[in-house]
A and B are shown apart, each in its own frame.
Chain A
Amino acid sequence: MYTLIAALLAPAIGFGISCFFWARILRKSNSLGDEYGDAEEYTTRIEFKYRMDRMKKSVREGFIESYYRRSETGYMEPVNSEEAHLLSEKDLENLKKPVKTNSTSLLGQEQYDFDEELPPVDKPIFKPLE
């Protein structure tokens, strides 16, 4: 019995470790510069305005809905006791509509060919956070 178990597990262990080890050496040796641009190189600000931890149920639609409602009303302070709730499909469709923004500074979403005119460059599309 013990011999059978050992005979079954030993090849898995042996070739598992061997494959892992030599593949790592191979990557270091033969794949140069395979890492991509690091987010921290380009991020000047990251801020989580609202957090919910250890929810026992997936109230994801409720969470996202409450975030986007706050977005429209100027990022109200989060209310920790706020209860998220599941939404109907109709509500979800409404949520997917674009968030209201200052329309005078917002440019079109359609494809734009750079060979022709560039979009105006003197109007930022957003106001950076203070």
Chain B
Amino acid sequence: MATLCKNCGSGLTFDPKTQMLVCQYCGGSFKAEEVEAEFGDTLEANDITDSAQGYYNCNIYSCGTCGGEIIIHGTEASANCIYCGNSTVVFNRISRQKRPNCIIPFKITKDEALDIIREKFNKGFFVPKAIKNFKAEHVRGIYIPYWIVDAYHSGAVVIRGTVKHGKSSSTYYYGRSGEMILHNLPFDASLLLADESSERLEPFKMADLMDFDEDYLMGFYSNISDVTFGEIRRSAYNRAVKYFNDYALKDVKGPSNKTIVSSMEDTALDYGKLKYAMLPAWFVTYDYEGKHNTILVNGQTGKIVCGIPWNKPLFYSLLIGSGLLLTVLAFILLRTTLPFMDTSEDSDLGKVLVAIGTGAVALFVIGIKTMGGVLKSIRLTQARDIFNFAKKRQE
């Protein structure tokens, strides 16, 4: 499918910088609505858009390696799979797809996306030099299909918390019940893209949502909605429960160690406001140590989502080196101060030592958990993991 230049007949692509359709050959530029109004008759025969029926035609390409399906618009001549990075992408069929209601056009250009990534990578203390000077294998602008929903949530939770009275403490229970209205909550509608990755791309500024026009897709890929109604409902429910519980926990002020011990909730979607939308993202793929890494950049705000393999020798040498140094310092400090702390008769030395030990172990555990979070982020960035996750969901 291609919209052609009025001047020279070449394919047009959408330019995020000028928000116009531009011709790469003669330099002509046109507004999307102008193209449709003035030269609608130049559209190719297979590009007849049945917008009255709510459908439009797409060129579907499929990857021979991972099986992922993508839609390629405009003048893209060659393509690599956005999920596994392999070049075994071949034209499969023309498909009649549900026409989205709205779209947020790309605001960030390809060069801007790469500049943002390079700037962030160069600031990274543990980013290996080879990655700081990374060479992008493939940079693809992709419109990700999203369902945008309004939801009403009602819930009741009971929270357990601890309140201290001097040296003693009591356990109390707190109840919170009420309602919450969520507006323009987005859910990615592509099974192949991990939900965790798409959620991290948020927020999108929904004020920029425009009526859908195929011309905004020119020069970009897009994906197909392949989720079921049940999956949207489940996703909406899970997020509404999480948000409601967070609000309830914040509303209980005073106690520490707050935990939700019981809850009951219900989430209803407002179908009158359900929207099928295309939201923009750049997928930048690079190889490092034999693995494909895919960086996501929000095509509207420029937010980067990725985990970067780290410089392990540097990290572990600093961790162990500073750990040993602090150990020596802590030993000297403790050995010097302990005898003085233990002199008074009503000394609580035992309790102080337990508190210090507990605090140290807690810091260690938090550190390990934080490292686990970084590893998880890297795993999401590894393209094959995204594919495996999708495959697991499809089974």
Contact bitstring A89-126, B, C-beta under 8 A = 1, else 0: 00000011011000000110111111100111111111
A126–B153 CA distance with the chains assembled, in angstroms: 10
Whole-angstrom distance from the CB of A64 to the nearest CB of chain B? 4
Q: In the assembled complex, which residues on chain A have CB atoms less than 8 Å from the CB atom of B166?
A: none
> Contacts A13-B330, A111-B230, A122-B272 hold; do A35 and B200 have CB atoms under 8 A apart?
yes
Q: In the assembled complex, which residues on chain B have CB atoms less than 8 Å from the CB atom of A119?
A: 229, 271, 274
Q: In the assembled complex, which residues on chain A have CB atoms less than 8 Å from the CB atom of B181?
A: 43-46, 128-129
Q: In the assembled complex, which residues on chain A have CB atoms less than 8 Å from the CB atom of B33?
A: none
Chain A interfacial residues counted at CB < 8 A:
87
Q: In the assembled complex, which residues on chain B have CB atoms less than 8 Å from the CB atom of A31?
A: 307-308, 373-374, 377-378
Contact bitstring A6-20, B, C-beta under 8 A = 1, else 0: 110111111111111
A16 and B247 within 8 A (CB): no
* Cβ contact of A27, chosen from B229, B356, B363, B373, cutoff 8 A: B373
Q: In the assembled complex, which residues on chain B have CB atoms less than 8 Å from the CB atom of A37?
A: 186, 199, 202-203, 239
Contact bitstring A38-72, B, C-beta under 8 A = 1, else 0: 11011111111111111111111101100110010
Q: Confirm or deny: B91 has a beta carbon within 8 angstroms of a beta carbon on chain A.
A: no
A113–B228 CA distance with the chains assembled, in angstroms: 5
A18–B366 CA distance with the chains assembled, in angstroms: 11
* Cβ contact of B328, chosen from A10, A61, A120, A124, cutoff 8 A: A10
A47–B244 CA distance with the chains assembled, in angstroms: 10
Whole-angstrom distance from the CB of B94 to the nearest CB of chain A? 16
Q: Is the interface of A mostly helix, strand, loop or mixed?
A: mixed
Q: Which chain B residue lies CB-closest to A106?
A: B268
* Cβ contact of B229, chosen from A10, A26, A112, A129, cutoff 8 A: A112
* Cβ contact of A44, chosen from B173, B182, B244, B266, cutoff 8 A: B182
The B255-279 residues at the A interface (CB cut-off 8 A) are 261-264, 266, 268-274
Whole-angstrom distance from the CB of A22 to the nearest CB of chain B? 5
A55 and B335 within 8 A (CB): no
B306 and A33 within 8 A (CB): yes
Highest count of chain B CB atoms <10 Å: which of A25, A37, A45, A56: A37
* Cβ contact of A13, chosen from B178, B273, B360, cutoff 8 A: B360
B327 and A14 within 8 A (CB): yes
B126 and A23 within 8 A (CB): no
> Contacts A42-B182, A53-B174, A125-B269 hold; do A22 and B318 have CB atoms under 8 A apart?
yes
Whole-angstrom distance from the CB of A29 to the nearest CB of chain B? 4
A43–B378 CA distance with the chains assembled, in angstroms: 30
A49–B153 CA distance with the chains assembled, in angstroms: 13
Whole-angstrom distance from the CB of A80 to the nearest CB of chain B? 12
Q: Confirm or deny: B339 has a beta carbon within 8 angstroms of a beta carbon on chain A.
A: yes
Whole-angstrom distance from the CB of B279 to the nearest CB of chain A? 12
Q: Which chain A residue lies CB-closest to B128?
A: A30
| Known A16-B362, A19-B364; further 16 A-B contacts with Cβ < 8 A | A7-B331, A10-B328, A13-B356, A15-B326, A15-B327, A16-B359, A19-B319, A31-B373, A31-B378, A32-B120, A37-B202, A48-B247, A50-B156, A52-B173, A99-B266, A114-B189
Q: Which residues of B contact A (CB under 8 A)?
A: 98, 120, 123-127, 152, 154, 156, 158, 160, 163, 170, 172-186, 189, 199-203, 225, 227-230, 233, 239, 242-244, 246-248, 251-252, 261-264, 266, 268-274, 296, 303-310, 315, 318-320, 322-331, 334-335, 338-339, 342, 353, 356-357, 359-364, 366-368, 370-371, 373-374, 377-378
Rank and list the top 9 A-B pairs by shortest CB-CB distance, nearest first.
A112-B229, A14-B327, A19-B367, A111-B230, A14-B326, A60-B158, A16-B360, A52-B175, A6-B334
Q: Which residues of A contact B (CB under 8 A)?
A: 2-3, 5-7, 9-39, 41-61, 63-64, 67-68, 71, 84, 95-96, 98-99, 106-107, 109-115, 118-126, 128-129
